[in-house]
């Protein structure tokens, strides 16, 4: 879904009981943040196309009497939409998602902070320590902002991973490294250095021995 510009009609919707003004084409997440209502996100980044993968930003919406659960980073605002950013169900979704992610990255500061807020138990599910939570920030930043595709997804299902492409990474990454700071678990950085060590030791561009 594309963010449309220029904005057209003005829309009023209700978020957590507050009337919030928005413009057509905005997402619920954008409308909420303009009204300083915070919704947790992991895979969202202002500079990137909305992605909808972590599902942490789910909210309850009600339109024409029908309730449903949607990701606010993608869901478009609509006239008279009623949004609840917290409810028992929303909190449960967030708690279980955090517990699932903590099985991969139990020490991520961002996850630990959210775990505290939602009462998530980092030991509820069997550990699967890959450290990557596959939010795709590195992959999408490299593709959308840098246009380099030095890091991408491989495989699918439970085997999905990120992987640096040695042929591109050896030329591009050393001078950039911008994705490292975006990563909620520091895995992007580790993955890059591992790739360097295994695939092109001592051959990265800008290497000064």
**Looking at 10-109, which runs of residues are DSSP E strands?**
10-15, 18-23, 58-63, 66-71, 82-84
Look at residue 92 and give the partner it binds from another protein, ligand FES, none, a contact being a CB closer than 5 to 8 Å depending on partner kind: another protein
Look at residue 110 and give the partner it binds from ligand FES, another protein, none, a contact being a CB closer than 5 to 8 Å depending on partner kind: none
- Residue 147 binds to another protein (criterion: CB under 8 A): no
Rounded CA separation 128/138 (Å)? 21
Rounded CA separation 25/51 (Å)? 16
- Residue 202 binds to another protein (criterion: CB under 8 A): no
- Residue 31 binds to ligand FES (criterion: CB under 6 A): no
Element (H, E) at 94: helix 88-102
Q: Which residues contact 16 (CB under 8 A, 6 or more apart)?
A: 37, 83, 84, 85, 86
**Least distance from C-beta 200 to another protein, angstroms?**
26
- Residue 41 binds to ligand FES (criterion: CB under 6 A): yes
Q: Which residues contact 76 (CB under 8 A, 6 or more apart)?
A: 1, 24, 25, 26, 27, 28
Rounded CA separation 162/16 (Å)? 37
Structure tokens at 92: 């449960």
Return the residue of 56, 138, 169, 183 that touches ligand FES, per CB under 6 A.
Answer: 56
- Residue 3 binds to another protein (criterion: CB under 8 A): no
- Residue 67 binds to another protein (criterion: CB under 8 A): no
- Residue 44 binds to ligand FES (criterion: CB under 6 A): yes
- Residue 57 binds to ligand FES (criterion: CB under 6 A): yes
Q: Which residues in this chain contact another protein in the complex, by CB under 8 A?
A: 1, 52-56, 58, 69-71, 74-76, 89, 92-93, 96-97, 100-101, 103-104, 124-126, 128, 133-134, 136, 153, 155-160
């Amino acid at each position: 879904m594309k963010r449309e510009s220029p904005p057209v009609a003005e829309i009023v919707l209700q978020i957590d009981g507050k009337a919030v003004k928005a413009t057509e084409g905005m997402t619920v997440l954008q409308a909420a943040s303009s009204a300083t209502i915070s919704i947790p996100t992991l895979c969202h980044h202002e500079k990137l196309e909305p992605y909808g993968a972590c599902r942490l930003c789910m909210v309850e919406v009600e339109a024409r009497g029908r309730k449903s659960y949607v990701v606010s980073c993608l869901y478009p605002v609509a006239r008279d939409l009623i949004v609840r950013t917290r409810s028992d169900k929303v909190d449960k979704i967030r708690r279980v998602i955090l517990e699932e992610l903590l099985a991969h990255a139990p020490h991520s500061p961002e996850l630990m902070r959210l775990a505290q807020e939602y009462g998530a138990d980092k030991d509820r599910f069997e550990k699967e320590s890959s450290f990557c939570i596959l939010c795709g920030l590195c992959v999408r930043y490299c593709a959308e902002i840098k246009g380099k595709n030095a890091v991408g997804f491989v495989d699918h299902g439970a085997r999905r991973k990120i992987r640096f492409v040695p042929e591109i990474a050896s030329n591009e990454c050393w001078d950039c490294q911008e994705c490292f700071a975006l990563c909620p678990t520091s895995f992007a950085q580790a993955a890059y250095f591992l790739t360097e060590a295994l695939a092109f030791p001592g051959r990265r561009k800008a290497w000064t021995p």
